[in-house]
């Protein structure tokens, strides 16, 4: 390399270091040594040099922050450690109960907690390999998320490269958000451009992360607070130290976290921030409390949904009064009738509320709701609006009592209750429009056959134009059926508008329908929408009945014998397949190329053939889904619960103690990940 190139390379490296230095000062130390103009000049000069000498551009360059890459489709990747949600509490007494539970479960009752402000944003997992940002994933369903790395590069507070003190592999978790001040600027810009405004900062952040053009993401000025280190770090033994270590590695960790010696100090922390949090430039909705010591966290383990060692305290929701203008009724996929309160529009927690769900008629009676009432409304968990009461003092003499409807609001069929249920149902499931739309939406969902680009408005348009009557009809659709199809939709102001499907949308829909023919049998079975048959139940059924004919012909007594299948599910399956229309739909799906059977298993001579396993915890070399697949491929069986028929419990880290305890009581052998690998080799 000649001297000129050497000088250019050095200049690029110097500029990169300088820019990242000022980035770190701004985000982690709240300092400015140079003006924004000077910073932008340095960045522009770096971009100019990298364009001229692309051989010196690296993936961790600050120039990546400006975006420019287009992502047509975000790939899905598994989380090595599931991204679980936190259980919530709303009172001090529940916090004391949480503390008692922790002490009861732990062998050492000396517990410290770390408290952090709960920021209202979008959860993110960051993976670093060889100290460089490898990829970034959304929470997704907790087991797998979308790879949005290109867009995350544009978030300036996230380091693209770590210092040498970091291990070569790290997983970090944080919350992406738009600050209150930037959100206001963003909506001001949209207002001046006559564009619909964002409802709230969280929705704006979530939508921004999924934009296809990363240069557009860069304009949104997203930020990210880091709250968790999910990798081994030799010197770090507790969560408080982990946060300090992450801060030393130039991650944007807010200074508000605090170690508390007991639950009383936790409550003092909560009270301290109750009003002060309103002065922060970011939306918050509570406090996260975590058992500080990592060994104690490991001992406490997880439930299927939450870590046992953490809880979120939610501050009392913002509330307001408005007028109940009317009650309308929605019909769900199963025919359940849900009353919906139509309200005089009111702004609450950053968004305009026009309606709220009332769940069922019992709720209307409990609240003694009347049309024209002044009602109190709040956002449950800061997200879902709910009516909490009626201001009787403001009730007028002409307010009207609510009489629950007797007929379906869509098809006018009589409605009735199911025994032991609060809901009323429309039984006209074959011809009731909202039920048909709901069934199609369920069938095309990600956990079913995953047909993209078909929203509820498009589905309604297909039904209104007599192009489909049920899920099987989707496979008759041709390009010319879709082109220029008129779709009615509502804009952000609740006004009805019309748009037409054009070439790109039509091709996307047809291609996605074609790809869905490769869906797994269990996914299709789930997509049929049999009541009470969820994703995991569909997997159990597809394993036991390896083709749909066997399931159709199965009697109640045979179905109820299957582990994890209860009375309600067995009856529902039998009822579903008594209906000739359902049999006809299944037959049409098969004729259209959907594979309603399990792929033939190779008759292998495996040491774990017909051996039943239960898996709990997290593992080093596999995700839980990968481990399940290995067991299935080798002829083994999977169960989600321990019983006398279980042969082995595979125990990972962060396991739930109840399964271990039950296995020990039943004399079931408990093995590690390494033991399982050795078992495969025998």
Which residues carry out catalysis?
Answer: 118
Query: Nearest Cα to 284, choosing from 247, 251, 315, 253?
Result: 315
Residue with tokens 């529009």: 345
- Looking only at the bridges linking them, the beta strands covering 370-371 and 374-380 are unpaired
* Sign of the torsion formed by the C-alpha atoms of 178, 181, 182 and 188: positive
Residue with tokens 């509330």: 319
Burial of 91 (0-12, 13-18, 19+ CB in 10 A): exposed
Helices and strands, number each (H, E), in the chain = 24, 26
| H or E, element range at 11 | helix 3-28
Distance between CA atoms of 287 and 314, rounded to whole angstroms? Answer: 7
- Looking only at the bridges linking them, the beta strands covering 88-89 and 310-314 are parallel
Query: Nearest Cα to 311, choosing from 88, 77, 85, 111?
Result: 88
Residue with tokens 């287009």: 70
- Looking only at the bridges linking them, the beta strands covering 374-380 and 319-331 are antiparallel
Neighbours of 566 (CB within 10 A): 13
Going along 602-682, which residue ranges are E strands?
A: 612-616, 637-639, 648-651, 669-671
Query: How big is the CA angle at 420 (ends 418 and 424), to the nearest 5 degrees?
Result: 35
Strand, coil or helix: what is 406?
coil
Which residues, listed in sequence order, are joined to residue 137 by a DSSP beta bridge?
125, 147
Query: Nearest Cα to 156, choosing from 58, 253, 222?
Result: 222
Cβ neighbors of 407 (< 8 A, separation 6 or more) are 413, 414, 415
The pair of structure tokens assigned to 445 is 């969902």
| H or E, element range at 327 | strand 319-331
Could you give phi then psi for residue 377, rounded to 5 degrees? Answer: -130, 145
Would you give the DSSP letter of residue 637?
A: E
Query: How big is the CA angle at 197 (ends 191 and 199), to the nearest 5 degrees?
Result: 150
Distance between CA atoms of 651 and 675, rounded to whole angstroms? Answer: 10
The pair of structure tokens assigned to 198 is 């964002």
Distance between CA atoms of 153 and 132, rounded to whole angstroms? Answer: 11
* Sign of the torsion formed by the C-alpha atoms of 58, 64, 69 and 75: positive
The pair of structure tokens assigned to 312 is 């979120």
Alpha-carbon Rg of the chain, whole angstroms?
28
Q: Where are the alpha helices (DSSP H) in 106-238?
A: 149-152, 180-192, 201-209, 214-219
The pair of structure tokens assigned to 321 is 């009064």
Cβ neighbors of 146 (< 8 A, separation 6 or more) are 74, 75, 76, 77, 137, 138, 140, 210
Residue 69 near residue 218, CB atoms below 8 Å: no
The pair of structure tokens assigned to 428 is 């006209």
């Amino acid at each position: 390399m000649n001297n000129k190139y050497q000088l250019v390379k050095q200049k690029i490296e110097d500029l990169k270091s300088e820019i990242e230095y000022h980035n770190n000062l701004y985000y982690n130390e709240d300092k400015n040594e140079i003006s924004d103009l000077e910073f932008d000049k340095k960045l522009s000069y770096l971009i100019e040099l990298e364009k001229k000498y692309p051989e010196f551009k690296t993936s961790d360059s600050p120039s990546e922050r400006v975006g420019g890459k287009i992502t047509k489709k975000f790939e899905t990747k598994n989380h090595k450690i599931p991204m679980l949600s936190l259980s919530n509490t709303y009172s001090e007494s529940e916090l004391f109960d949480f503390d008692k539970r922790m002490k009861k479960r732990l062998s050492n009752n000396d517990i410290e907690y770390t408290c952090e402000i709960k920021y209202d944003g979008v959860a993110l997992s960051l993976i670093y390999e060889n100290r460089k940002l490898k990829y970034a994933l959304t929470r997704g369903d907790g087991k797998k998320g979308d790879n949005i790395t290109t867009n995350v590069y544009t978030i300036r507070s996230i380091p693209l490269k770590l210092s040498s003190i970091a291990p070569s592999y790290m997983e970090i978790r944080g919350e992406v958000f738009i600050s209150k001040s930037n959100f206001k600027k963003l909506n001001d810009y949209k207002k001046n451009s006559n564009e619909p405004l964002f409802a709230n900062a969280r929705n704006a952040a979530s939508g921004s992360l999924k934009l296809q053009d990363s240069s557009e993401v860069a304009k949104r000025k997203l930020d990210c607070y880091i709250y968790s280190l999910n990798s081994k770090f030799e010197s770090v033994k507790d969560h408080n130290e982990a946060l300090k270590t992450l801060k030393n590695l130039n991650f944007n960790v807010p200074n508000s976290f605090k170690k508390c010696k007991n639950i009383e100090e936790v409550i003092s922390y909560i009270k301290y921030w109750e009003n002060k949090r309103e002065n922060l430039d970011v939306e918050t909705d509570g406090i996260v409390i975590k058992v500080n010591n990592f060994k104690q966290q490991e001992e406490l383990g997880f439930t299927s949904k939450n870590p046992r060692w953490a809880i979120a305290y939610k501050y009392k929701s913002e509330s307001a009064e408005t007028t109940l203008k009317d009650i309308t009724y929605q019909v769900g996929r199963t025919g359940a009738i849900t009353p919906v309160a139509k309200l005089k529009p009111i702004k609450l927690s950053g968004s305009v509320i026009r309606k709220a769900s009332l769940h069922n008629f019992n709720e209307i009676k409990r609240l003694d709701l009347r049309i024209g009432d002044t009602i109190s409304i709040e956002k449950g968990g800061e997200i879902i609006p709910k009516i909490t009461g009626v201001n009787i003092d403001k009730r007028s003499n002409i307010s009207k009592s609510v009489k629950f409807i007797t007929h379906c609001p869509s098809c006018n069929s009589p409605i009735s209750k199911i025994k032991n249920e609060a809901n009323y149902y429309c039984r006209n499931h074959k011809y009731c429009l909202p039920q048909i739309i709901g069934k199609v939406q369920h069938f095309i969902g990600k956990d079913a056959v995953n047909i993209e680009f078909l929203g509820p408005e498009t589905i309604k348009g297909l039904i209104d134009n007599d192009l489909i009557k049920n899920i099987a009809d989707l496979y008759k659709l041709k390009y010319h059926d879709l082109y220029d199809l008129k779709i009615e939709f509502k804009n952000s102001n609740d006004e009805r508008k019309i748009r037409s499907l054009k070439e790109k949308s039509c091709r996307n829909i047809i291609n996605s329908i074609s790809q869905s023919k490769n869906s797994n049998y269990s996914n299709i079975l789930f997509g049929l929408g049999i009541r009470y048959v969820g994703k995991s139940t569909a997997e159990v059924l597809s394993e036991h009945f390896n083709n749909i004919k066997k399931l159709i012909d199965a009697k109640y007594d045979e179905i109820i014998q299957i582990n994890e299948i209860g009375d309600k599910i067995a009856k529902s399956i039998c009822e579903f397949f008594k209906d000739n229309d359902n049999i006809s739909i299944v037959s049409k799906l098969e004729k259209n190329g959907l594979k309603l059977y399990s792929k033939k298993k190779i008759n292998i001579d495996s040491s774990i053939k017909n051996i039943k396993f239960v898996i709990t915890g997290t593992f080093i070399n596999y995700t839980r889904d990968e481990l399940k697949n290995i067991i299935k491929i080798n002829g083994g069986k999977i169960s989600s619960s321990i019983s006398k028929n279980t042969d082995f419990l595979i125990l990972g880290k962060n396991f739930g103690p109840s399964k271990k305890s039950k296995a020990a009581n039943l004399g079931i052998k408990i093995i590690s990940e390494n033991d399982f690998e050795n078992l495969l080799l025998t």
